[in-house]
Amino acid sequence: MDIIEQAIAGPFEGVLLRPAAGGRLGVLVLHGSYGTGTVERCRALARSGLVALGIRWYGGEGQPPGICEIPIETFTHALDLLHREGIERLSVLGLSKGAEAALWLSILDQRVDAVVALSPTSVTWPNMGAGNDGRSRPWRSSWTWHGEPLPFVPLDEAGIPEAQEEDGLVSLRGWYERSRELYPERYEAAAIPVERTEAEFVLVAGGDDRTWPCLPAARALKDRRAALGLPTVLVERGAAGHRPRLPGEGPAAPATHLRYGGTDADDAALGAAAWPHILSALRGAGRSADLGRRHSTAHLNPR
């Protein structure tokens, strides 16, 4: 399918890709914390008939240098752009920290009809890097809403366990697991309230994720939503890592600092297994709800 690419400037930089024939189904694509590229993923979605908007949401001009108190409104403004393009069904797809943002966006902006969370977390974690003030400590929330920080779990100040380093690559998973044990009350308070949105969910997780424990998190998200009968699909593969690859995407870039887990083959197999579920959710094929059934931003207390 022929696609048209358009660079986006203004409040954020990005790229908008659309099928040459146009379309009414749109998806906001959010990168994770280690890499800002979304173009290849947007192309795969556009070739499948979706209008895909990939944005840079931190580290750019006028943005915080790290993932520190990023306004969720950053993403609602991106949905506004898609809406102005004539999109009637709005979805969001995010990887890792981008998945964390996508989950919150679906809760706080009721226009979101579907969420695809690749390698998600079930709680809000603290900042990764500095905020606009140049400070990375003390720990602060990754996100704000209407200027207020969202509840978060701090990381253990003792740092990354030494045992997590191997062959020059560092696994962060043990750091997150230890922090959960250290701050059980904060962990409970920071649970992302995914039961507050009726958006369709597709959760994609690998059991060999060495960045953080995304598979236990994805199962927790599914269980909480399933208890209320909310539309949720979990696609998992035990041998896959933190970076699932969707059909049409090449292998991920070689790791230079972090250990992500999995192999190219297993990460691609996980993406291939998830792909039909992802397209079904983004197209609204799995339910009879009207396109654009939610029209206003919800003003919710996040906890």
Q: How far is the C-alpha of 97 from the C-alpha of 66, rounded, in Å?
A: 12
pLDDT in tens, 17-68: 999 998 999 999 999 987 667 999 999 999 999 999 999 999 988 889 999 9
230, part of any domain: yes
pLDDT at 289 over 60: no
Q: What is the pLDDT of residue 302?
A: 37
What is the biggest distance separating any 2 CA atoms in the chain, rounded to whole angstroms? 54
Q: What is the CATH number of the domain that holds 126?
A: 3.40.50.1820
Residue 8 burial (10 A CB sphere; 0-12, 13-18, 19+): middle
Average pLDDT over all residues of the chain: 91
128, part of any domain: yes
Q: What is the pLDDT of residue 291?
A: 38
301, part of any domain: no
Sheet harboring 89-95: ordered strands across?
3-8, 14-19, 51-55, 25-30, 89-95, 112-118, 200-206, 232-237
Q: How far is the C-alpha of 123 from the C-alpha of 265, rounded, in Å?
A: 29
pLDDT at 296 over 80: no
Can you give the residue range of the structural domain that contains 83? 3-152+193-255+262-283
What DSSP assignment string belongs to 256-303? SSB---S-HHHHHHHHHHHHHHHHHHHHTTTS-PPTT---S-------
Q: How far is the C-alpha of 303 from the C-alpha of 159, rounded, in Å?
A: 28
Tell me if the bond preceding 151 is cis, omega within 30° of 0. Answer: no
Q: What is the pLDDT of residue 217?
A: 98
Q: What is the pLDDT of residue 290?
A: 40
> Residue 110 corresponds to which amino acid?
Q
User: Judging by DSSP bridges, how do beta strands 14-19 and 51-55 pair with one another?
Assistant: antiparallel
Q: How many domains does the chain have?
A: 1
Query: What is the token pair recorded at 95?
Result: 């990887």
16, part of any domain: yes
Reduce the DSSP state of residue 185 to 3 states and report it. Answer: helix
Q: How far is the C-alpha of 186 from the C-alpha of 161, rounded, in Å?
A: 21
Percent of the chain with pLDDT over 70: 92
pLDDT in tens, 158-216: 988 765 666 789 999 999 999 999 999 999 999 999 999 999 999 999 999 999 999 99
Centroid of chain to Cα 98: 3
More confident residue, 13 or 233: 233
For the stretch 155-163, contacts whose Cβ atoms lie closer than 8 Å and that sit 24 or more positions apart, written own/partner, are 155/125, 155/126, 155/179, 156/182
pTM for the model: 0.93
For the beta carbon of residue 195, count every other beta carbon within 10 angstroms. Answer: 15
C-alpha closest to that of 241 among 218, 274, 217, 265: 265
User: Judging by DSSP bridges, how do beta strands 70-71 and 143-145 pair with one another?
Assistant: parallel
Q: Looking at the chain, which runs of residues are DSSP E strands?
A: 3-8, 14-19, 25-30, 51-55, 70-71, 89-95, 112-118, 143-145, 148-149, 165-166, 169-170, 200-206, 232-237
300, part of any domain: no
pLDDT in tens, 254-280: 888 899 999 999 999 999 999 999 999
pLDDT at 297 over 50: no
Q: What is the pLDDT of residue 294?
A: 39
Q: What is the pLDDT of residue 162?
A: 66
Q: What is the pLDDT of residue 164?
A: 64
Q: What is the pLDDT of residue 250?
A: 87
DSSP-assigned letter for residue 232? E
Q: What is the pLDDT of residue 36?
A: 65
Q: What is the pLDDT of residue 166?
A: 64
